Structure 1
Amino acid sequence: MFGLFSRYLSVGVVNTALHWLVFALLLAAGATQALANFLAFCVAVTFSFFANARWTFRSAATPWRYVLYVCFMGALAALVGWGADRAMLHPVMTLVAFSLVSLLCGFAYSRLIVFKVSR
């Protein structure tokens, strides 16, 4: 279990760097936090899905699994961004909040739903 989470965390570090970079660029271009967070997620989630399918969970990266993963994580990104806009959080706080929420919720969802292995 720890090895699985550490691999997921490693992918998450790269995923987070991609997310933060795209978020900053979109915010600088005038996007709202909700939009910037969601679009940054779209870029990062594709990397994350394929890397986790292959390296973390050693599972097939099927279209159905991709849709499950993207819809759940996209809703999470939009929700965090929406909450940040409502609370008028500083953008860095939005990034930190989403990074933590997506790490924990994303791991649980990936392990229990998306890449669940039937026993």
Structure 2
Amino acid sequence: MGQVWKGFSSYTVIGVANTLIHWQVFFLLSVALDWRQARSNLIAFCVAASFSFYMNALYTFDHKLSVGGYLLFMAAMGALSYGVGHLGDLWRLHGLLTVALFSALSLVLGFFISKYVVFREHAA
């Protein structure tokens, strides 16, 4: 069981910084510019995830950076980001609830997508 969660603490620390970036950009776009939550959440995710992808590749997974891995991560997690934002719009959720829900989902799902898909170890 320990191997499954190996790297999760480092991923979480980087995730806290990611969350601060994400939430600030989200609220700037959704409150200051009055954009819809779906678009605000997606753009905020792209900004924050670019930072965390780089940091996790170096420090959490000790893995070489790749454009393909970056695009795969951004597509999978970006779809989740847009979907949660869309539900926030549809259900008229407060923006804080929308980004909190996305942050919780992306912490766990993002870790497993990163570990087992994007930065997976290849058999030698």
TM-score range, shorter chain: over 0.9
Map 1:1-119 to 2 at 5 A.
1=3, 2-27=5-30, 28-119=32-123
- Aligned mates of 1:82, 1:104 — CA distance in 2: 20
Segments of 4+ moved more than 2 angstroms: none
What is the CA-CA distance between 1:3 and the residue it aligns to? 4.8
CA shift, 1:16, in A, is 0.3
Number of residues paired by the alignment? 119
Deviation at 1:30, TM superposition (A): 1.1
| CA RMSD, 1 decimal | 0.9
Gaps of 5+ in 1: none
In the TM superposition, what is the alpha-carbon distance from 1:6 to its structure 2 partner? 0.2
TM-score w.r.t. the length of structure 2 is 0.93
**Normalization by structure 1: what TM-score?**
0.97
Letter of the 1:37 counterpart: N
**Counterpart-to-counterpart distance in 1, 2:57 and 2:107:** 15
Q: Unaligned stretches of 5+ in structure 2?
A: none
State the SS of the aligned residue for 1:34.
helix
